[in-house]
Amino acid sequence: MLRDAIRTIPDYPKPGIQFRDITTLLGDARAFRAAVDQLVQPWAGQRIDKVAGIEARGFILGGAIAHQLSAGFIPVRKKGKLPHETVRLAYSLEYGVDEMEVHRDAVRPGERVILVDDLIATGGTATAAIGLLRAIGAEVLAACFVIDLPELGGAARIATLGVPVRTLVEFEGH
């Protein structure tokens, strides 16, 4: 059911990429709720201090998950968007590099944080986000995604960092 709610756009944003579009899932009340419920479920009854979401689709899912867990929310943003003092980390994209940031005071030392994004591909984005969260003192309990593209190896890469990965739907290919 979640899988059916995700739309695939061939050759977007460039030839060869199958873009997994979650706007259709977000627009479907039952699917949106089911995705959030399934991502929240492992944490029921556990103390989660904060949910960190990766800009921009991770904000939508992460905000809903944080609310459900009675946790705070931390935005992990592209560089230059956060107004207060930040820590910044470069990460590689398919072509070139980019940088992301969090506010230096977004967690207190040892706070228990879960990371959320819509999709994990190579894992480069999530690796950088975990690095930032650890740099500001967070204990990163898990990284959670609606979609996994296992052929790109991202979930395995995150697991090697000692962070358990949870995903809901797998798609073949890129």
In the range 35-74, which residues lie near ligand AMP by CB under 6 A? Answer: 54, 57
Q: Minimal distance in Å, beta carbon 117 to ligand AMP?
A: 5
Question: What's the distance, CA 28 to chain centroid?
Answer: 20
Contacting ligand AMP within 117-136 (CB under 6 A): 117-126
Distance in Å, CB of 104 to ligand AMP, minimum? 23
Contact indicator for 61, 116 with CB cutoff of 8 Å: yes
3-state SS, 13-82, equals: CCCCCEEEECHHHHCCHHHHHHHHHHHHHHHCCCCCCEEEEECCHHHHHHHHHHHHHCCEEEEEEECCCC
The answer to whether residues 53 and 73 touch, using CB atoms and an 8 Å cutoff, is: yes
> Using the rule CB under 6 A, is 25 a contact of ligand AMP?
no
Q: Is 17 in the site for ligand AMP (CB under 6 A)?
A: yes
Minimum Å distance from CB 70 to ligand AMP?
A: 26
Q: Which is nearer to ligand AMP, 49 or 123 (CB)?
A: 123
List contacts with ligand AMP (CB under 6 A). 17-20, 54, 57, 117-126, 154, 174
